[in-house]
Amino acid sequence: ISPIQGSQDETFLPPNSCDGIFMRGVYHHFTDPQAMNKSFFKTLKYDGLLLIIDFRPRLLLSLFSRPKGIPKHRGGHGIQPEILVREVTEVGFKLIKKIDCWPHRMYALVFKKP
């Protein structure tokens, strides 16, 4: 195992090096989702999968802990699945599965690199 430190907008993993990428409760913190999604796309192999588990904005959480620098259209701390799908598919991913009822009031989205 070789640790590689990523950044807010780049994985720094070699191109076409991963079969899959998994995130849970992370995506809504991206301040430049377009750049990060492009980095995921570049990092994944052909037919690679991107699994994102996240949650919709919650009023109380948004009032007390809104992540700094996130796009204003997000609606607070969290992200609506429709916005997430749009952001990820804009860079070339295809949505292949949506699970609305994930534990802890979360949802799961599975994308594929065509």
For residue range 12-33, list pLDDT tens digits in order: 999 999 999 999 999 998 999 9
Q: How far is the CA of 71 from the CAs of 20, 45, 85, in angstroms?
A: 26, 28, 15
The total of other beta-carbon atoms located within 10 Å of residue 108's CB is: 17
Q: Residue 5: pLDDT above 70?
A: yes
Question: What's this model's pTM, rounded to 2 decimal places?
Answer: 0.88
Residue 34: the pLDDT is 96
